[in-house]
Structure 1
């Protein structure tokens, strides 16, 4: 979907993309409230579902690293999660299995023995039983380092990946970072700078300031002004594409608002029939 083709409307929010690649995307969101813009940021970071390793069963580990250390590293390896919606949430009662099954989890195996002087164990050695949900590949294709073995050492284990969100654990976050800025020239005075000599040299304006007209020295301060243009830079872990993370975050926020709307309407109906006392929100 090309958001840069959206028609600008003075009364409706609109988005324009300023840059993108395989791992990140930069865009400007305009004509909305600060609370809404920040809610989108928070949803992308903490409430978008992905797959991550949550259980590790060791069969053999003769490396210098403890089981717990390796398990922690495995949990932080991003897994391709574009097909995450096909999985049933493990924490829900929707799945009828007793422990875990292919409907609510993905099994991965790691079996490595060093037969040479030394060997690196990476995410490329993790074999997934699911064709789509598997460890991401790096640019160098060397994989993410898990451990190093010397001759005679080995690691043999089984992993169970489950569906989750970063509110439960950061390993499920699809975003490595979400940069969020508004008012780069500080017209609204929301930021107080510690200045020793010259504010312009000590606090240079970000590159987003180039997209706005620099304020005049004698520009009057508007006490009623509110921010209405927000600059985002979303960098993903690779579990989801940047566009997928944004759309998923918007869907999460939409569901939350729909839930509130439904309940408010239900209360209003009960109030109208005298079922409950009228209340303020």
Structure 2
């Protein structure tokens, strides 16, 4: 037996108005049909893995920092040298490959993807919070 609720608002009527209505409701899950899915956008990406095969120093480090459109690289003072480093483990990297297009850096930087490390984005339509959607999806 399905649950019954008497307080579901269907429409608001003004004095003298009326509606003749026959309603049938079905409860379903997104696996059956997308109309029951509480998610409007969901996607994932593998996180980038950026490593240096050799140190990039001085003016080359400054040039590399300027090449990246999303600011993945920074310059760190190590002793008397200024050396290029990866900021925030490269999370903001879109793997646009601008850093390795330049011949000067092509053999000094390895750009790849971390295996088994994902970044998920789940956008809700409001029925459930994104955290709840992920929790239920894992079950």
| TM-score computed with the length of structure 2 as normaliser | 0.46
What TM-score results when the alignment is normalised by the length of structure 1? 0.26
When Rg is computed on C-alpha atoms for both structures, the one with the higher figure is 2
